[in-house]
Amino acid sequence: MSDDTNEYTSLETRLGYTFRSRGLLEQALTHKSFLNERPQPDRPDRRDNERLEFLGDAVLDLAVGHLLMETFPLSSEGDLSKVRASLVSEAGLAQVALELAIGEWLFLGRGEEQSGGRHKPSLLADAMEAVMAAVYLDGGFDPALEVVRRLFHVEAARAGQGSDYKTRFQERVQSELKVQPRYVVVAAIGPDHDKTFEVLVTVGDRELARACGKSKKEAEQRAAELALAVLDAEFS
């Protein structure tokens, strides 16, 4: 990605928001690995996107919560909380980032670039949070809310509640790719009474996603959710 902020026009079009300060957008797209490998002595004020991720998490919670309250006036707090958690989860954010092709715009270090960082759900989700913080800082809450309204499909998320991601993923892979997904436990960390499992899911020879959980079942569900987001982006 070039350092020329004038190249952001097509991304702004996808977002539906034009920045007054494109420096904020540049910061939102700058992963710490880029600045670690490429110090900017001529731009000492340039920062990575970690602080924006922090703010973007809060902006998204508020904006999505607002839309859910507006869209589903009769739903309970518990139901709304579940839908919001799904929308702002790593998989939910990564899916939106993939639809926007945010990965094309990221400033990454060589290691992240070579390891497929432009398609990593965790990195894309972080960048999505940072971009939303940039919109909020640049234009305020109302423009941020409108961006969320366009990009996050609250009705579809509400309809999909209670779904079994692993079953959905298996049905999808069998239907579209004619193969079976495979789950592999790659790590089990902690004492027996409090383990955290890391699971990766593969289709053929390709790793689609990996995730952690307090049980193998939970980790597999989370990995399937992330893998569905990857497939959604690729087949859209």
Q: Which of 53, 57, 126, 138 is catalytic?
A: 57
Active site residue 90: no
Q: Which residues of 1-32 are buried (b: 16+ CB within 10 A; e: fewer)?
A: beeeeeebeebeeebebebeebbbbbbbbbbe
Active site residue 129: yes
Tokens at 191, concatenated: 């004492």
Q: Which of 26, 129, 138, 225 is catalytic?
A: 129
Phi and psi dihedrals of 177, rounded to 5?
A: -115, -10
Indicate which residues carry an active-site annotation: 57, 129
